[in-house]
Amino acid sequence: MSNLLYRKSYWARSYVGWPRFASLKPNTAHTTLANWEEDGLVGHIVTQNVDGLHTRAGSRYGVLDLCKTLLWYVYLEGVVHELWRLSYIPKAQKIKPD
């Protein structure tokens, strides 16, 4: 955390990889589970996936993301801050080197 070069490298990789990650679509398993939730057949979905695709497929109330998702980022400055990643991308586009 205290190494500036490491943090810059992390955010550069995150910025470059974001378009591919953001373009992912829910698959049949995601939509099936969402349908089962809607039909009352599934109460909760516990996942380690970080892509948010269960929610994007339509699951609303029962998704527990054990590892959070990459849609949020957390930074520390004495306290923990969680921010919506999509709010970061426009800022990064303005400051990225050519």
80-84 and 72-76 beta bridge pairing? antiparallel
pTM over 0.75: no
**Is the model's pLDDT at 1 over the cut of 60?**
no
**Nearest Cα residue to 30 out of 47, 12, 9:** 47
Span 3-48, pLDDT tens digits:
778 777 877 777 787 788 888 899 999 999 999 999 999 988 988 8
Predicted local confidence at residue 37, as pLDDT: 93
Direct distance between the N- and C-terminal alpha carbons of the chain, in angstroms, rounded to an integer: 26
The DSSP result for 57-86, as a single string, is TT--SSEEETT--TTEEEEESSSEEEEEHH
- Banded model confidence at residue 92, pLDDT cuts 50, 70, 90: low
Instruction: Give the domain range for residue 46.
Output: 4-95
Q: How many domains does the chain have?
A: 1
Average pLDDT estimate for 54-78: 74
Span 73-91, pLDDT tens digits:
555 565 555 656 666 666 6
